[in-house]
Amino acid sequence: MITEKSRLKSLGNQLFFTGPTIIFFAIAVLIPFAYGLYLTLTDMTSPVNPIKFSGFGNYKTAFTDTAFWESMWLTVEFVVATVIIINILGFILAFLVTSGVKMQNFFRTALFTPNLIGGLILGYIWQFIFVQTLPSIGDKLGIEWLRLGWLGDEHLAFWAIVIVTIWQSAGYMMIIFVAGLVNVPKDVMEAATIDGANAWQRLRNVILPLMVPSFVVTVFLTLKNAFMVYDVNYSLTAGGPYGSTTMVSMHVVQKAFTENIYGVGQAEAIVLFIIVAVITGLQVYFSKRMEVAA
């Protein structure tokens, strides 16, 4: 451990090693977060308006803003749909690419590809599919639900965003599950087989309990990403049709930068932060308790 003889030298090293990080972290995260808390207590409408203290009025407005709660509820539905499907699909894919078939690495590499590309670009790519390709298949084969433009339909547009998000993230979670699966000890698996456990029992009683640490990570990541979804939402539907797919992140952006109601937008962003913090905190706490040792 470091024990410097002179205090000056000790201070010098402290500044040298941690100084840059502290400065950048403060500029990007600490100061804006603290200042953001203060902004929620002001009646700020635009950057040039003088700020006046207004107590908890913005939070009151936020709690009665039905558009905000609609977008929050839609986001919760989005979170539930994507977190469940991505984790199940990612796990199945991981199982398939570690099952011992040929070209496993090729499949891993290919299934990961969507993660290389940002959500905005992926949204545009899928826009082509939803606007042009699917309707043209539907036309030729006479399938009615493909002929409808999904992005123009208030309910299907939501599922379009879900599909693109799943397509984007399943490969990433697969890679995390693969790391967990190859760490399941071979001898434990063999012992279970010798004891007469069939494939389902091995999955249920050996593999899944040992995979809990992987699930802690993947559920945390998918939860957090889904609550913060913006890029795919923006490029695929931009919140439409008729505001039917405006998720909470887009609502906050619009509130602040389009409608110029900074204070309320910031108060809603803080409410979002509290909800995400509580949910991810509970998730990590409870799933950590499910972890077992091999």
Partner 1 sequence: MEARKRAASILTYTLLIVSFAVFVFPFFLMVVNSFKNNGEILESPFSLPTSLNFGHFAEVVDKMNFFVSFRNTVVITLLSVLLIGIFAAMTAYYMVRRPTKFNNGLFALMVASMIIPFQSIMIPLIYIYGAKLHWIDAAPIPLLIILYIGFGSALSIFMYHGFVKSIPYELEEASLLDGCTRPQTFFKIVLPMLAPTSVTIAILNVLWIWNDYLLPSLVLTKDQDFTMPIKMKVFNGTYMNNWELLIPALLLTILPILVAYLFGQRYIIRGVSQGAIK
Residues 222-281 that bind partner 1 (CB under 8 A): 224, 227-228, 230-231, 234-235, 248-249, 252-253, 256-257, 262, 265-266, 269-270, 272-273, 276-277, 280-281
Which of residues 136 and 205 has its CB atom nearest to partner 1 in the complex?
Answer: 136
By CB under 8 A, the residues from 32 to 61 that bind partner 1 are 32-33, 35-36, 39, 44, 47-48
Shortest Å distance, C-beta 187 to partner 1: 21
Q: Quote the tokens at residue 262.
A: 């900074």
Contact 201, 192 (CB under 8 A): yes
- Work out which of 74, 87, 90, 119 binds partner 1, going by CB under 8 A: 119
Query: Using CB under 8 A, which of 11, 67, 110, 143 touches partner 1?
Result: 110
Which one, 208 or 279, has the nearer CB to partner 1? 279
Q: Count residues binding partner 1 (CB under 8 A).
A: 92
Report, in angstroms and rounded to the nearest whole number, the Rg of the chain calculated over CA atoms.
24
Distance between terminal CA atoms of the chain?
33
CB of 50 to partner 1, least distance (A): 12
The answer to whether the beta carbons of residues 170 and 107 sit under 8 Å apart is no
Task: Give backbone dihedrals phi and psi of 100, rounded to 5 degrees, phi first.
Answer: 100, 5
In terms of CB distance, is 88 or 92 closer to partner 1? 92
- Distance separating alpha carbons of residues 73 and 71, to the nearest angstrom: 5
> Which residue of 87, 169, 214, 245 would you call a contact of partner 1, by CB under 8 A?
214
Residue 40 sits at φ, ψ, to 5 deg, of -65, -20
Applying CB under 8 A, among 63, 124, 145, 286 the residue interacting with partner 1 is 124
> Which is closer to partner 1, CB of 114 or CB of 239?
114
Smallest gap, in angstroms, from Cβ of residue 290 to partner 1? 18
Q: How far is the CB of 145 from partner 1 (least distance, A)?
A: 18
Which residue, 95, 80, 94, is CA-closest to 283?
Answer: 80
Applying CB under 8 A, among 109, 201, 205, 260 the residue interacting with partner 1 is 109
Residue 144 CA to residue 137 CA, distance in Å, equals: 10
Considering the rule CB under 8 A, would residue 293 count as an interface residue with partner 1? no
In 3D space, the residue among 171, 186, 63 whose CA is nearest the CA of residue 116 turns out to be: 171
Report whether 218 contacts 226 (CB < 8 A): no
- In the list 13, 198, 205, 260, the residue contacting partner 1 (rule: CB under 8 A) is 13
Closest approach of partner 1 to the CB of residue 80, in Å: 18
User: In terms of Cα–Cα distance, which of 126, 123, 137, 94 is closest to 247?
Assistant: 123
Task: Report the distance separating Cα 167 and Cα 159, nearest Å.
Answer: 12
> Tokens 């397509």 sit at which residue?
167
Q: How far apart are CA 266 and CA 286, in angstroms?
A: 30
In the set 11, 88, 179, 290, which binds partner 1 (CB under 8 A)?
Answer: 179
Where in 154-173 is the site for partner 1 (CB under 8 A)?
Answer: 167, 171-172
Among 85, 129, 189, 203, binds partner 1 (CB under 8 A): 129
Q: What angle do the packed helices 66-97 and 156-181 form, to 10 degrees?
A: 40
